[in-house]
Amino acid sequence: MIEFGQLLAGPYCSSLMADFGADVIKVEAPPAGDPMRVWGREKVNDHTLWWPSLARSKQVVTLNLREPEGQELALELMAKADVALENFSPGTMEKWNIGPDIALERNPRLIYARVSGYGQTGRYKDRVGFAAAGEAMGGLRYFNGYPDQAPPRSGISLGDTLAAKQAFEGILLALYWRDARGGNKGQVIDAAIVDACFAMTESTITEYALTGAIREPSGSYLSKIAPSNVHKSKDGKWVVIAANHDSLWKRFAVLMGKPELADDPRYATHRERGEREHELYAMIDEWAAGYTAVELDEMLAEANVVSAGVYSAADMYNDPHFRERGLIVDLEDSEIGTMPVPGITPKLSETPGTIRWGGKWEVGADNEAVWCGLVGLSQGELGKLQEAGIV
């Protein structure tokens, strides 16, 4: 797989591929490489902490795609690849003469994946797009937050990650069709941040089109789905309690010491509880405030009621479950040392995936191995290209 990507959406997709065994060659612009090498607020040994995980298990090479010599080398790489991935603005790869039409002429079996803000078609295709804009137009920002307040964003680049996962799905589907279903040729995958966010919006468009209803932000709970909300414990921590299914509600009513509410016609059914959600939440607030978060967790788990603490990074790091699941694993980095990073998901029984190495700090660390070993340049040819700023 060849990654012509930078920042997050494209590189995260190829990280997923690398986790499960793909040989990923990441192409970076000389001399500085991907800006993700220096992105991130926190540093250890003067290095930011995002790069080693995002670029893990990838070979890294440099190539100037703005020059004809670099474009020809890019096509030679794609001629040898199963998959190429890019996340530049639509039209950029065509401007550089390495778009899918030309690449598929060289390699008809190539899967050519494209990730952008708004997609390769439609009236907004030429707009530059980041996760923030995609989440806004794709509906996620509107539903989030509280009524009459500015719509907040998640503290992560959610739109980028969603688009990357859609590209990942598309690549796997295209490979399956090509190799297992008799397709015998490549195709182009068009994944967009707006599309990926919009795909998460459930029945909201149908509701609006057929009834005129617009789903509004409702804060910490989904309106009419009750009880399912966050409640503050005695020690000031937030805990999710979700007992909106009838059988869950009955168990929860008993746990709260109010078994009579289980069959009370005002609360017995999903619809009736939704109509009285504010009454319920006031009642649960009062009950939850009498216990610590740990006590609530133990009591609710014992009663088989859905619950979870609202975890910070510290909570996740210190909960043994995350290590037991392999969600946090240790990576040895040459500059930082031992560092915990997100592990591999999902869990496969026969091909579980592995992190082979962390992201390489030297820009162009694998130039010789790829350009000479894979493409077939001589040492002299590589040297001339380096002197000319092509590699």
Helices (H), ranges, 138-157? 140-143
Nearest to 357 by CA among 83, 61, 59: 59
Catalytic residues: 160
- Could you give the residue ranges of the DSSP H alpha helices within the chain? 9-19, 51-54, 68-79, 92-95, 100-106, 131-137, 140-143, 158-180, 193-198, 204-211, 246-255, 270-275, 277-288, 293-302, 313-318, 320-324, 367, 379-387
DSSP lists the bridge partners of residue 309 as 239
Contact by Cβ (8 Å): 164, 8? yes
Separation of first and last alpha carbons in the chain = 19
Q: Strand 83-86 to strand 2-4: parallel, antiparallel, or no bridges (unpaired)?
A: parallel
Cross-strand partners of 93: none
Distance CA 28, CA 207 (A): 45
| Residue 247: both structure tokens together | 């059988």
